[in-house]
């Protein structure tokens, strides 16, 4: 990350992060945040993944945030800021940097449309070509970027950011401090069709809505379907990556994260603090226990009832069993050859 608008001493950064300083010039000014392998003088980096540790001894960064328990293999030229959690500390620093360098937006750009019945506070930002429908309520400090469509009856909390090109269908509710990235669709119809005797399908009206509680973030081009009846709910602190499909009546528990290209079928109930990796497919009408981890490209055809376990594969199995199966699978050609040799002898 580059930018010269930040200027703060290493000592001040350590105080901000509650870290302990070690070595070097603690009064040196920091101007940039950079990756440890690319950092130059005047920048600060962090070391969390130990596979990058060799860069610690060659980096040109003026300071590096490291763990309290990191043991050095040889001397370093940079100032170390020791903290309990280097990744979390650097995230805090990135947040502070973002606030410092962010261009402040305010006011209503034209052309744009706001229905007379909409409740719009004076301190928000509405970008050009945005559409705010009937009886929409928007909280203080929110930012609505250009080409956003907010349909009738939508409620948006305080300090929520909705980036360009987002569509929020009628009657959906979005909490405070949410971030919705470009191309997201919130509240499109769920995939509901009733099979007919002639083989055709009759559309089932989707009369519910979507509720995003506070501190939810949706990645670009993700889609959240409205409920057939009731609500599709993403609870407080849920984080969704790009290109994720969440179907009607899904309920995702607090602080669960879902990576890119995953798909969650209708009426699935996902617990709290779960981690769902990329390209996972979850069947509808099942439940997943709290603190579950599901590995990439896994298929989930049944409920997971025991909390705190790791699952992988299609269909899923416990991760330890999956690793054993993978070893057997790799050995199949060799085992087949041995079997052929035995058959010849018989």
Q: Is the pLDDT of residue 1 over 50?
A: no
Q: Is the same domain home to 117 and 93?
A: no
Q: Is the same domain home to 238 and 265?
A: yes
Q: Is the same domain home to 268 and 287?
A: yes
Tens digits of residue pLDDT in 301-318? 999 999 999 999 999 999
Q: Is the same domain home to 262 and 219?
A: yes
What's the CATH code of the domain at 34? 3.40.1390.10
Q: Is the same domain home to 233 and 298?
A: yes
Q: Is the same domain home to 151 and 69?
A: no
With a CB cutoff of 8 Å and minimum separation 6, the contacts of 63 are: 10, 13, 24, 28, 30, 44, 45, 78, 79, 80, 81
Q: Is the same domain home to 156 and 260?
A: yes
Distance CA 142, CA 151 (A): 16
Q: How does strand 275-276 pair with strand 32-33?
A: unpaired
Tens digits of residue pLDDT in 183-209? 999 999 999 999 999 999 999 999 999
Tens digits of residue pLDDT in 257-271? 999 999 999 999 999
Selected catalytic residue, list 31, 147, 248, 285: 248
Q: Is the same domain home to 230 and 205?
A: yes
Q: Is the same domain home to 32 and 131?
A: no
Q: Is residue 282 part of a domain?
A: yes
Q: Is the pLDDT of residue 2 over 50?
A: no
How many domains does one find in the chain?
2
pTM: 0.86
Q: Is residue 197 part of a domain?
A: yes
Told to judge if 248 belongs to the known catalytic residues of this protein, a careful annotator would answer yes
Q: Is residue 260 part of a domain?
A: yes
CB-based contact 182:199 (threshold 8 Å): no
Three-class secondary structure of residue 11 per DSSP: helix
Last residue of a domain, one of 48, 79, 101: 101
What's the CATH code of the domain at 132? 2.160.10.10
Q: What residues make up the domain containing 48? A: 8-101
């Amino acid at each position: 990350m580059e930018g010269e608008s930040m200027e703060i001493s290493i000592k001040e950064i350590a105080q901000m992060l509650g870290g302990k300083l070690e070595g070097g010039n603690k009064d040196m000014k920091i101007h940039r945040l950079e990756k440890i392998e690319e950092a130059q003088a005047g920048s600060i980096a962090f070391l969390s993944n130990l596979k990058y540790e060799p860069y610690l001894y060659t980096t040109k960064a003026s300071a590096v945030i490291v763990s309290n328990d990191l043991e050095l293999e040889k001397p370093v030229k940079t100032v170390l800021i020791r903290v309990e959690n280097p990744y979390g500390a650097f995230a805090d620093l990135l947040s502070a940097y973002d606030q410092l360098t962010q261009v402040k937006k305010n006011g209503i750009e034209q052309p744009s449309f706001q229905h007379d019945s909409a409740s719009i506070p004076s301190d928000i930002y509405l970008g050009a070509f945005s559409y705010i429908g009937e009886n929409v309520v928007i909280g203080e400090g929110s930012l609505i970027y250009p080409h956003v469509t907010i349909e009738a009856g939508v409620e948006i909390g305080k300090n929520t950011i909705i980036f360009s090109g987002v569509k929020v269908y009628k009657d959906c509710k979005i909490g405070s401090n949410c971030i919705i990235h470009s191309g997201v669709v919130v509240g499109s119809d769920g995939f509901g069709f009733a099979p007919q005797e002639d083989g055709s399908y009759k559309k089932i009206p989707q009369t519910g809505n979507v509720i995003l509680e506070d501190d939810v973030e949706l990645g670009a081009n993700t889609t959240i379907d409205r409920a057939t009846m009731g609500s599709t709910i993403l609870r407080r602190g849920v984080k969704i990556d790009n290109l994720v499909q969440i179907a009607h009546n899904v309920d995702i528990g607090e602080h669960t994260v879902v990576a890119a290209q995953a798909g969650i079928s209708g009426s699935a109930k996902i617990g709290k603090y779960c981690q769902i990796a990329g390209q996972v497919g979850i069947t509808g009408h099942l439940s997943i226990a709290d603190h579950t981890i599901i590995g990439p490209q896994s298929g989930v055809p049944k409920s997971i009832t025991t909390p705190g376990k790791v699952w992988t594969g299609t269909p899923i199995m416990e991760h330890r069993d999956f690793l054993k199966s993978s070893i057997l699978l790799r050995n199949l050609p060799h085992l087949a050859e041995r079997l052929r040799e035995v058959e010849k002898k018989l």
